[in-house]
Structure 1
Amino acid sequence: MGMTATQQEGIVRLSPGSEMTIYTAAELKDSLYKDWDKAREIDIDLSQVDELDSAGIQLLLQLKSDSKHGHKPVRFIDHSPVVLEALEMLNLISRFSEPRVLTTENPEA
């Protein structure tokens, strides 16, 4: 599944699709940043991600950093189990501590 984007009332919701790897990182970055200036807020839906490597993690970290420095809210939502596992393994859960982030040990919390 490829990248999808929707926009409503200044909020852009992006889904990178199933793969966030070195093979898709450059294309994903271009797609994710295409709507950056038009958006008031950005939601990144990670629910479909089932392949994630260090290039995908770097892209998430870059989006988080650019959000902070660019004063544009970026929320990472609906994290897939693959995303949660990678963030926990790399001790990055706290960097993505939006209220909807769940840990893999306690998915009902």
Structure 2
Amino acid sequence: MLNCVLDNDVITISGEAKVQYLESLGDCLQRGLDSESAVRLSLAQVTEIDTAGLQALLSFLLTRKEIGPVNIIDSSPVVERALELTGLKQAFSAFAG
């Protein structure tokens, strides 16, 4: 199960960021694209993630960067390991902070 909440320009994602929940993840991230304020992304409660989830997050980050400020404020060990295994750690590190 995936839970994604936007509150005070913080998007908190918890649970499984996997292909079967991609539509829900995309809907939540879309609301972050509409924000006029800086957006922060919390991934500390992600328990599982696959390449579809990573792709959705990276797409969001790159698109959001064109609109306004965005950064990742925290990340779970599961996300960190997935980034290492896929070689995406450097791409995501540009948004750390």
Class of the TM-score when normalised by the shorter of the 2 chains: 0.7 to 0.9
Which runs of 4 or more aligned residues in structure 1 lie more than 6 Å from their structure 2 counterparts after TM superposition?
none
Offset, 1:45: 0.2
Identity %: 32
User: Distance in 2 between the 1:85 and 1:28 partners?
Assistant: 20
For the aligned residues, what is the CA RMSD? 1.6
Q: Which runs of 5+ in 1 are unaligned?
A: 101-109
In structure 2, do the counterparts of structure 1 residues 94 and 23 end up closer, same or farther at CA, with 3 Å as the change threshold?
Answer: same
Task: Indicate conservation of the 8 Å contact 2:14/2:45, yes or no.
Answer: yes
Q: Which runs of 5+ in 2 are unaligned?
A: none
- Going by fraction, where is helix more abundant, 1 or 2? 2
Match of 1:94 among 70, 90, 93: 90
1:43-88 Cα offsets, whole Å, 9 max, x none, are 11000001101110111110122023x2311111211000000001
Larger radius of gyration: 1
Structure 2 length-normalised TM: 0.86
Match of 1:48 among 38, 45, 62: 45
Offset, 1:17: 1.4
Match of 1:67 among 52, 64, 68: 64
User: Distance in 2 between the 1:47 and 1:20 partners?
Assistant: 12
Task: Indicate conservation of the 8 Å contact 1:3/1:16, yes or no.
Answer: yes
